[in-house]
């Protein structure tokens, strides 16, 4: 996207742009996996849309120069509507970083995270109210989203290296590594 003024491309337009940029284009069969096909078939056979969990992978980082970064990738929603785009690629919804506040990677029901601009909301709360990354995340995930029955969580780090891994579900796979030697992996509450 460094060769375009646009922020997000999908479908045929994204394909055309990739070809024009000289990227290797592969047949869609390249992305086929038996496991995901069976999962799709299982849901389709039940004739109802169901959100099977396949996981989001997110990362946030603070480097030694004070730069913050966030990245989010997801397995997506099984049997979703054709053309549906979730929160992961939406800057401000599933991913956001601002060197002055924090870096956030989110996971959960994407539509709610998009409508509530969750990742940006955490950063904005820090910027405009002066609360900590933990306080901002707790408000957005544990109060705001919970009030509308939206499940999910975030990992975030601020510009001072303070981090939070806040979620409103039974568990969320998460881990942290710090420069002072902390190396921790968790699933359920602390």
Active-site residue, selected from the candidate residues 10, 33, 56, 72: 56
Q: Which pLDDT value is given to residue 50?
A: 47
Copy the structure tokens of residue 52: 């099977």
Sorting pLDDT into bands at 50, 70 and 90, what band is 51?
very low
Segment 129-155 mean pLDDT: 97
Q: Which of 18-22, 26-30, 82-86, 101-105 has the highest mean pLDDT?
A: 101-105
**In a 3-state reduction of DSSP, which class is residue 31?**
helix
- Nearest-angstrom CA–CA distance, 69 and 51: 29
pLDDT digits (tens, 9 = 90+) for 53-107: 557 889 999 999 999 999 998 877 666 666 677 788 889 999 999 999 999 999 9
Point out the least confidently predicted range of 40-49, 61-70, 163-172: 40-49
Rounded to an integer, what distance in angstroms lies between the CA atom of residue 40 and that of residue 158? 38
State the average pLDDT for the chain.
88
Least confident of 15-29, 78-92, 139-153: 78-92
CATH of domain 56-186: 3.60.20.30
Annotated catalytic residue 164: no
In this prediction, residues 123-152 reach a mean pLDDT of: 97
Among 52-56, 108-112, 176-180, whose mean pLDDT is lowest? 52-56
- pLDDT band of 14, cuts 50, 70, 90: confident
Q: CA end-to-end span of the chain, whole Å?
A: 39
Q: Report pTM.
A: 0.76
Domain residue spans of the chain? 11-45, 56-186
Residue 162 is encoded by which pair of tokens? 């303070």
Residues 124-152 have a mean pLDDT of 97
What percent of the chain has pLDDT above 70?
Answer: 91
Mean pLDDT over 24-36 rounds to 88
Question: For residue 126, what pLDDT is reported?
Answer: 98
User: Are 109 and 150 within 8 A, CB to CB?
Assistant: yes
């Amino acid at each position: 996207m460094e060769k375009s003024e646009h922020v997000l491309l999908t479908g045929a337009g994204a394909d055309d742009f990739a070809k024009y940029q000289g990227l290797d284009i592969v047949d869609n069969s390249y992305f086929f996996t038996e496991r995901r096909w069976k999962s799709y078939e299982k849901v389709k056979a039940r004739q109802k849309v169901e959100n099977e969990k396949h996981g989001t992978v997110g990362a946030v980082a603070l480097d030694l120069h004070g730069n913050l970064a966030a990245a989010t990738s997801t397995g997506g929603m099984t049997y979703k509507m054709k053309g549906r785009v979730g929160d992961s690629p939406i800057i401000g919804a599933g991913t956001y970083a601002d060197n002055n506040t924090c870096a956030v990677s989110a996971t959960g029901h994407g539509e709610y995270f998009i409508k509530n601009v969750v990742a940006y909301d955490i950063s904005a709360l820090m910027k405009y109210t002066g609360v900590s990354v933990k306080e901002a995340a707790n408000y957005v995930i544990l109060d705001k989203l919970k009030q509308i029955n939206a499940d999910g969580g975030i990992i975030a780090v601020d510009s001072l290296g303070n981090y939070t891994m806040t979620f409103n579900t039974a568990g969320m796979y998460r881990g942290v590594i710090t420069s002072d030697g902390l190396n921790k992996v968790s699933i359920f509450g602390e």
